[in-house]
Amino acid sequence: MAATTKSAPSKCAYVLGDDGLARWSDVHAQAWIGLLETHKQVTRVLDAELEAEHGITLSALEVLGRLAAAEDRSLRLSALATACGLSLSRISRITDALETRGLVERRPVQSDARAVEGHLTDAGLDLIRRAQGAHFASVQRRFFEQLNDEEIALLAAIFSRFAPRAADTCTTSDREGQLTTR
């Protein structure tokens, strides 16, 4: 994809009213609030589907996917938190729930007695394979099928400005089913 230059907007995206409250212009409100609402609606549906079909959340799906793609199917919980963009306490709670189901095991890190890693069990690997297949199909149906090829390319170009090379941090096999970073 060719690099695009960012041009300045023709006018400010918001105005301050006489009452001191800020308001988006109509087109900016449609863009910004549309992004937020689309994200909220799609992720709620995807989360509910995963919970109903597999008993996991989107965050747990990401945790399992990252563990599945990691060397020896293990990652330090601190590295997992960073990769998922979640707090260590949130990762710990997710890991607790997955461990209760026998999907993940906590193991001490041999080289650092203070550190703990999550290890994906065979049952966890089986679940992530099934859950990712269903999840990717649902994303296809609920998101990508609502757009044409040009719109998908435009969204890719736009969002790559905010998260440069985000897709590049995934390996080919990751794009086919894992949510991991190199």
Residues 56-91: tens digit of each pLDDT: 999 999 999 999 999 999 999 999 999 999 999 999
**Tens digit of pLDDT for each residue in 124-170?**
999 999 999 999 999 999 999 999 999 999 999 998 888 886 666 55
Please state, rounded to an integer, the average pLDDT across all residues of the chain: 87
Alpha-carbon dihedral sign for residues 174, 70, 106, 77: negative
For 41, the enclosing helix (H) or strand (E) is helix 26-54
Q: Which residues of 9-45 are buried (b: 16+ CB within 10 A; e: fewer)?
A: eeeeeeeeeeeeeeeeeeebeeeeeeeeeeeeeeeee
**Tens digit of pLDDT for each residue in 103-130?**
999 999 888 888 999 999 999 999 999 9
d(CA 39, CA 94): 22
d(CA 141, CA 60): 21
d(CA 43, CA 47): 6
3-state SS assignment for residue 107: strand
Give the phi and the psi of residue 107 in degrees, each rounded to 5. -140, 140
Does the structural domain 45-162 have CATH classification 1.10.10.10?
yes
Q: The pTM is what?
A: 0.79
